[in-house]
Chain A
Amino acid sequence: GAVVSQHPSRVICKSGTSVKIECRSLDFQATTMFWYRQFPKQSLMLMATSNEGSKATYEQGVEKDKFLINHASLTLSTLTVTSAHPEDSSFYICSARRSGRAWDEQFFGPGTRLTVL
């Protein structure tokens, strides 16, 4: 099967610091990767879509300068939460898709729990 990992699984940081979350496709090359945010008892909210080697496409209302996304290779995307604040505390989930076809399956990582103190 297609496996997507995220690191770290949990992170606690102080307000004002930056945190980097990695998303890796372990056994396939991902043309497209997605980043989601999930609040307790709520749906996954798409934050941004990234294609390898190009700039990410952010959803409306998501601050580009706060949530930096880098899709440096076909197996790695990173999300950096800059100058994190308590309101950024959430569950961040990435997914990866092999092809550029819209209907192809997205494979999801297990998520990263971010707590900002």
Chain B
Amino acid sequence: AQSVTQLDSQVPVFEEAPVELRCNYSSSVSVYLFWYVQYPNQGLQLLLKYLSGSTLVKGINGFEAEFNKSQTSFHLRKPSVHISDTAEYFCAVSDRGSTLGRLYFGRGTQLTVWP
């Protein structure tokens, strides 16, 4: 079974500051890792995903995440945030060995960017 822990439920930051949203996972099998963003009244959108290869993954809107196998983490970072980055961010895992590709989500982190 897989589980995902997002350590911060809310992260407030000022515009142009760097931000890190933390994600740790627990799994007995190898996983794929994802970050999704949900803007108000919209469906979740994929920010980035880690499948294999380089542990540093770059996504849309200037976000990146680093897979750390030893720490079972997949933290999301952005060097300089904008007000438009205000949204809910979800970390998710998927079992590599499963053909269904089911996603298991963390509780989400509300990022609020202040001017």
- Residues of A at the B interface (CB closer than 8 Å) are 4, 32, 34, 36, 41-46, 49, 57, 59, 93, 95, 97, 100-111
Contacts and interface: CB of A to CB of B under 8 A. Distances in A.
Contacts of B99: 100, 102
Interface string B92-115: 001110111111111110000000
Interface residues of B, number: 27
A71 to B, nearest CB: 13
Contacts of A100: 99
Nearest to B51: A103
B43 A111 contact: yes
Contacts of B104: 46
| Interface pairs A-B: 5 shortest CB-CB | A102-B101, A108-B43, A108-B44, A43-B105, A44-B105
A36 B43 CA distance: 12
Given A43-B4, A103-B94, A49 B100 contact: yes
B42 interface: yes
B90 to A, nearest CB: 7
B22 to A, nearest CB: 15
B43 A93 contact: yes
A106 B46 CA distance: 8
Given A32-B100, A103-B49, A43 B43 contact: no
Interface in B76-101: 90, 94-96, 98-101
